[in-house]
Amino acid sequence: MLERYFVRPETIDQIRASWIGELIEQYVSSMAERGYADRSVYRRVPVLMRFGEFAKDRGADRWDKLPEHVEAFVAAWLENRATHHTANARRKVYNDVRGLVVQMIAIVVPGLHGKHRVGRADPFRDRAPGFFAYLREERGLRESSIRGYRFHLRLFEAYLGRLGCHDLAALSPPILAGFVTETASILGWKSLIGICSAVRTFLRYLHCEGLLARDLSHAIQVPQRYRLAALPRSIGWDEVRRMLEVVDRRTIVGRRDYAILLLLVTYGLRGREIAALGLDDLDWKHDRLLVPERKANHTTAYPLSPIVGEAILAYLRDGRPKTTDRHVFFRHLAPPQPLTDSAVSGRASHYLHEAGVAVYRAGSHTLRHACVQRLVDAGLPFNTIGNYVGHSSVSSTQIYTKIATEALREVALGDGEAL
């Protein structure tokens, strides 16, 4: 397979002479099977060769030892080649280099998956080894929720490390208060609520397992969030049209994204609901769109709008990769994998910025809010709107009454008598 990409025999000999040469060749074959562009192979093989030498110099003599050296290699790569980069550029280099090394290792190291974070074990794995199994098996949390716990508890673990507090039995209310105070100074209130909730759950678990003498979860004071205090991130329908107009439907990505954006603004779907859509959810015979496993634990059947149906068909006929996977929307670059909910939100954010629409935290929920707001402005009952967009409670819909868009516009453009 190497002969397909490298013309000079000495280059191929050099690769095969490496102690991980066989591993690299397996990886190249895997990339070819999954449709990677030739330039991706040319770019990745030299990096993998350097990683092999780096790991060997650090004492690695077996393939199953490679994961232990990933983080150190990426750190050395950044130190040598990205010293003068901006923070965002360094983060991109980190993700690119680390991602391709992890991807190669996943081929031969048993039990390692492409999305697994090599070198980043679960926080508190040694001191509370059963916590994440408890979240998964006893509380039944989704993997996306468990990832949030990992992120939040890594911050808590790092804070304790800076304090030199390595014994969980030594935790106290002042230590916990210091963590909340420090975290509040760098994160928004929504992120702070998530962190506080995760740490409280963790503390309750420690107490139940006998790792803490008393339950300290009450020492974590979650910031007060008042009902209907926030405003929805809604935009007007003129801004929605402007966003749709900037999509270039002549390209594969444009056809895919146009269908996604129409689903967001027409039905108010969540990003994860669009990412989970399958071909079996499109009932062409009865012109219906099925959205299963919504937040309110029910399936919604929508009439399939002709405009939305045509957009989806355009992508399915000329854009969607040929695959046995039943998901509707796929990433454009190799390997062909279904879009994630974060990717759906990222595409919405991209086109909102391209259209010059100024909105706080632009993303898929911005368009969901726009859909709900339009239904509220049309005077539909809250229960009807909530059922349409999959709200689990009518209170989730009531917040939109705080924005009387058309009424406020009339007041602003009138002569003041309406006041």
Q: Could you give the CA distance from residue 136 to residue 383 in angstroms, rounded to a whole number?
A: 33
Catalytic residue among 98, 272, 365, 369: 365
Look up 391 and say whether it is catalytic.
yes
Per the listing, tokens 């690119």 go with 96
Look up 270 and say whether it is catalytic.
yes
- Number of neighbouring beta carbons within 10 Å of residue 276: 20
Q: Could you give the CA distance from residue 32 to residue 210 in angstroms, rounded to a whole number?
A: 52
Closest CA to 395 of 237, 227, 196: 227
Query: b vs e for 134-151, b when ≥16 Cβ sit within 10 Å of the residue's Cβ?
Result: bbeeeeebeeeeeebbbe
Catalytic residue among 270, 272, 320, 347: 270
Look up 369 and say whether it is catalytic.
no
Look up 400 and say whether it is catalytic.
yes
Residue type, 209: E
Indicate the SS3 state at residue 225. coil
First-residue to last-residue Cα distance in the chain: 76
- Number of neighbouring beta carbons within 10 Å of residue 116: 14
- Strand-by-strand arrangement of the 300-303 sheet: 282-283, 288-291, 300-303
Catalytic residue among 85, 295, 327, 350: 295
Closest CA to 251 of 262, 242, 259: 259
Per the listing, tokens 């974590």 go with 220
Look up 368 and say whether it is catalytic.
yes
Active site positions, annotated: 270, 295, 365, 368, 391, 400
